[in-house]
Amino acid sequence: MLNGVTQTNAQPNVLLDGASLPDGCAVDTVEIARVARLIEAMPGELDKLFSQREIEDAGNGPGRVASLAARFAAKEACLKLFPRETALNTITAMDFSVVKDEYGAPHIVASPAAEIVMGRHLVQTIKISLTHSESTATAVALRIQRILKPSWGGRFLFRWLPYRRAVILENLNRVYGANVAPSQIALLAQAHYSHLLSLLKELIQFRFLSEARKKSIVRVEGVDGMIEAFEAGKGILILTGHFGNFEVSTVAGIEHFPQVKGRIHFLRRPIKPKWLSDLLTRRFNQAGFGVVGRRGSLEEIVSTIESGDAIVFPFDQYARRPEGIEVEFFGQAAGTYKSMAVIALATGAPVIPAASWREPDGTHVLKFFPALNPVLDDDVGQEIIKNTRAYNQALELSIIRHPEQWWWVHRRWKNQKPRK
C-alpha cells in the first residue's frame, strides 16, 4: 500500500521577508509496476485517474509509466494533507492534478472542491516535488499557509471599536474554526476590519475622482463572455455577493464596457439609514445601472430577463421562508434564496458568477466567470435545491480566494447553531 507521513502545525511559520513556511508535509510512494498494471487494465479510461493535461505531459516514450506514477503519488500526497475531507470523500485524487510550468517544474492545480477545502484551512497553495527510481515514484507535498497582514487601523478597530465583532468571529469560526488556530481566526477578523476601513475611505474619496481616474482604478475581466451572453438575448442572472468594494468596482467597472449601460439592474433591498440607501441608489442610477426592489418584484425581474437585460443578484444574505430554503453553505445549512434557481430554470437565462476584490496596490478587479452549467433533475424540488447549492459553492470559491474582503458582518446562518 502507499506510504506517507503528514505533519501540521497550529499556525504557520513566517520568514523575515514575509514569505510563509510550510505548515504541513505529506509524502507518498507508489510502485511503478502497480501503475503499469492499472494502465494496462484500463487503457481507454485513464481519465478516471488523470487529467487530460497530465496524460499529455507524460508523453508516449519509455518514461511514460514512471511519469504517471509520480503524478499518482502527488495526488495521494495532496489528499494526505487534508485527511478529514479525504475520509468524508469531500475531495478525491481527481481534485488535484500536476502541470508543468514553462521551466518544466511541477505545480498542483486544484479543482473548485479542493480549492474550497484548501481555503478553509487558509492554505494559499501546495508545493510539490516529484522523483522516481527504477521501481518506485515518490512525491512530497507541502502546504503553504496564507499570510494575513492586518493594518494598524484594522487591529485598532478590532480591539477598541469592535463593530459587530461577535457576529464576525462567529461567522469566521463556522467556516475556519475546525481547521485553523484561534490566533489565525483573530488575525483574519483584524484583516477584515482593515478591509472595512479601506472600504469607507474609498467610498469617501471616490466621488472626488475624475472619470478617467475612476476607470483606471478598476480592471474588468471576463468582459467578452458577458458581451456574448447579452448578444444571445436570453437575459442574464449575475450571481454575486458583497465582495471587495462592490460599490466602487461596479460603478467604475461599467465604464470598460459602456455598451451595456442601462441594461444591468441591481436587485437590492433598501438599507438603513434611508439617506445612505438613497445615496447609493442615486449613484447607481447615475452610473448607468437600474435598481429593482427585492420584495414583490418577481414579475419585474422576469420581464427584465425576458427583454434580454441582466439582473445582479446579491446571493449572500440570509433568506427567510417562504423565499428561502435551507441549503448547505460552507458545510452548514443556511437560508438561501430559491428564486434565482426558479427564474434561471424557467427562463433559460445563464447564471454568471461575478466577484470583485482589492489588489495590494489599491486597485480593484471586477471579474465575470464562465456561466454555471444548470443541474437537471426529474424532481423539480431537487432541481431547485441542487442548483441553489451550486450557486452557494460559486460564492464559497470567491470568498476563500480573498477571505478578508467578504462582508462577514452578515448573519448568513441566522437561527442556526454553530456546528461543532
> What does the pLDDT read at residue 420?
54
- Give the C-alpha separation, 284 to 236, whole Å: 19
Same domain, 182 and 84: no
CATH number at residue 23: 3.90.470.20
HEC letters along 325-385? EEEEECCEEEEEECHHHHHHHHHCCCEEEEEEEECCCCCEEEEECCCCCCCCCCCHHHHHH
* Segment 293-310 mean pLDDT: 83
- Answer yes or no: is 86 within a domain: yes
Q: Which residue has the higher pLDDT, 357 or 207?
A: 357
The pLDDT of 3-27, averaged and rounded, is 57
Look at 10-24, 215-229, 230-244, 269-283 and tell me which has the smallest mean pLDDT. 10-24
Residues 58 and 31 in one domain: yes
What's the pLDDT at 3? 45
With respect to residue 22, please indicate whether it lies within any of the assigned structural domains: yes
pLDDT at residue number 267: 86
**Is pLDDT at 53 greater than 60 in this prediction?**
yes
Give the whole-angstrom CA distance, residue 196 versus residue 388: 29
Q: For position 1, what pLDDT does the model report?
A: 37
What's the Cα-to-Cα distance from 340 to each of 154, 267, 411, rounded to whole Å?
35, 11, 20
What are the pLDDT digits (tens) for 54-87? Answer: 999 888 888 899 999 999 999 999 999 999 999 9
Domain-embedded: residue 227? yes
Residue 271: pLDDT above 90?
no
C-alpha cell at 96: 488535484
Does one domain contain both 122 and 230?
no
Boundaries of domain holding 193: 152-202
Q: Is residue 415 part of a domain?
A: no
The percent of residues in the chain predicted with pLDDT above 70, rounded, is 91
Count of domains observed in the chain:
3
Same domain, 29 and 121: yes
Q: For residue 276, count other CB atoms closer than 10 A to its CB.
A: 11
The β-bridge partners of 130 are: 139
Q: Residue 266: pLDDT above 70? A: yes
Residues 352, 223 share a domain:
yes
Report yes or no on 284 lying in a domain: yes
Whether residues 296 and 263 fall in one domain: yes
- For 345-392, how does the pLDDT look when each residue is reduced to its tens digit (9 = 90+)? 999 999 999 999 999 999 999 999 999 999 999 999 999 999 999 999
